Amino acid sequence: MKRTGVVKVDPKRFLSDLHELRSFGASGVGKGVVRPAYCASDVAARRWLAGRFVQAGLRVEVDAMGNLFGLAEGPSLLMGSHSDSQPEGGWLDGALGVIAALEVARAAKQAGGPAISVVSFQDEEGRFGVTTGSAVWSGHLALAQADALVDHAGVALGEARQAMADMVTGDVQAAQFTGFVELHIEQGPTLDTAGEQIGVVTDIVGIRDMKITFEGQQNHAGTTPMHLRRDAFQALSAFNATLNDRLRNVVTPSSVWTIGHVSLHPNASSIVPGRVTFSMQWRDGDAARLGRMEQIIREVAAQTAAASDMELRYGPLLGLEPVAMDARLRAALEQGAQAVAPGQWRRMPSGALHDATNLSRLMPVAMLFVPSIGGISHAFEEDTREEDLVAGLEVLAHAVELLG
Ligand code: HGY
Ligand code: MN
Ligand code: MN
């Protein structure tokens, strides 16, 4: 594979669009954004992106989930990521991949090829589930099932997606794409700590995510003796302490588990909480270990419920399997990395989840990382040095030429 140098990306145009996208849902804290799936700022951002796709000579299509595509003529390499954010999101998580893909598509078109299509998937950040937009598009999740998913405020996805119903044009067929390449920030400390510029992803971890509820007895915080309480918070506290002990027997240093959202009912100072619903999420690069972790989580939940006289309920278990990146696409990214950042790049796994996992069911996929300053992400402080953003873009341009 030989690079010709005809795909000339325009770093100024790329950075200008990246900062303009940041203005949709700007949090006012650092460069942070608040752009959860289907909220006003997310839909406004997608309308703006659609306009940029048209200006780039791409045909805009939007499917029922609100996945926004800019399509090249004929068979094309799909590039992109997501433009929705976490409730407190960084300006680059997802957005970088969408704008970099747009810039490469523009430069490739101006150079007379190769054909590049662009996508911004919806709800990658899981306001409703795990990467729901690309999970539905890739056939991993039925639209009817997705519509029934609810966010932490009880809003159903089926209702929320009506906010962009007027943009929907219909299904987008996967067969037109020869593969998928996603540029993303690392969202971890590896590259930043090593002083390197580029990560070529080898594989993406698997994930499991479900809600767990303990139901005891709501009661008066002053008159209810401690030994008579059926306190849901105490049950969660006992569950968490026991779980940490038990999981240590099966995990490795790269296994992670998180209780990130806790809803205590009725959440009042003078009331013994009768109910707690919390998110239980775990990730690992090994599918069998994900299963062993699940078994322990369910055992500890059942033991805790029995010991605390709690009713135990589970929400739907959502998840994705670990996936390896495509060798051919990865080799092109490695050649690009060696050309753009010689000695400043490495091969590495992704501890974060990405739409690429869903697309790997349909086509070859590969991912590229640029550093996150301080390893910070899913926080308003998330940032990356501009020269590293541009280096990632240049590697993409190099790789698409090699892939032809
Ligand atoms: O959670 C993740 O790994 C992704 O950033 N949504
Ligand atoms: Mn992301
Ligand atoms: Mn994210």
The answer to whether the CB of 124 is under 6 A from ligand 1 is yes
Mean pLDDT of the chain, nearest integer: 97
pLDDT at 2: 57
Task: Say which ligand is closest to the CA of 96.
Answer: 2
Per-residue pLDDT for 5 more than 90? no
d(CA 111, CA 102): 14
**Ligand 3 centroid vs 86 CA: distance in angstroms?**
6
Average pLDDT rounded to a whole number, residues 12-38? 97
pTM for this model (two decimals): 0.92
Q: Is 125 in the pocket of ligand 1 (CB under 6 A)?
A: yes
Residues having C-beta closer than 5 Å to ion ligand 2: 93-94
383 close to 30: Cβ distance less than 8 angstroms: yes
Instruction: Answer yes or no: is pLDDT of 378 > 70.
Output: yes
Strand partners, 215: 275, 311
Question: Quick one: pLDDT at residue 89?
Answer: 97
For ligand 3, a single-atom ion, which residues have Cβ within 5 Å? 93
Query: Is residue 353 within 6 Å of ligand 1 at its C-beta?
Result: yes
Question: Is any atom of ligand 1 closer than 6 Å to the C-beta of 310?
Answer: no
Q: How far does residue 268's CA lie from ligand 2's centre (Å)?
A: 35
Average of per-residue pLDDT across 168-181: 98
Ligand lying closest to the C-alpha of residue 85: 3
Q: For 42-81, how does the pLDDT look when each residue is reduced to its tens digit (9 = 90+)? A: 999 999 999 999 999 999 999 999 999 999 999 999 999 9
Q: Looking at residue 3, what is its pLDDT? A: 63
**Is the shortest distance between the CB of 205 and ligand 1 below 6 Å?**
no
Residue 27: both structure tokens together:
């949090």
Of 4-18, 154-168, 260-274, the one with minimum mean pLDDT is 4-18
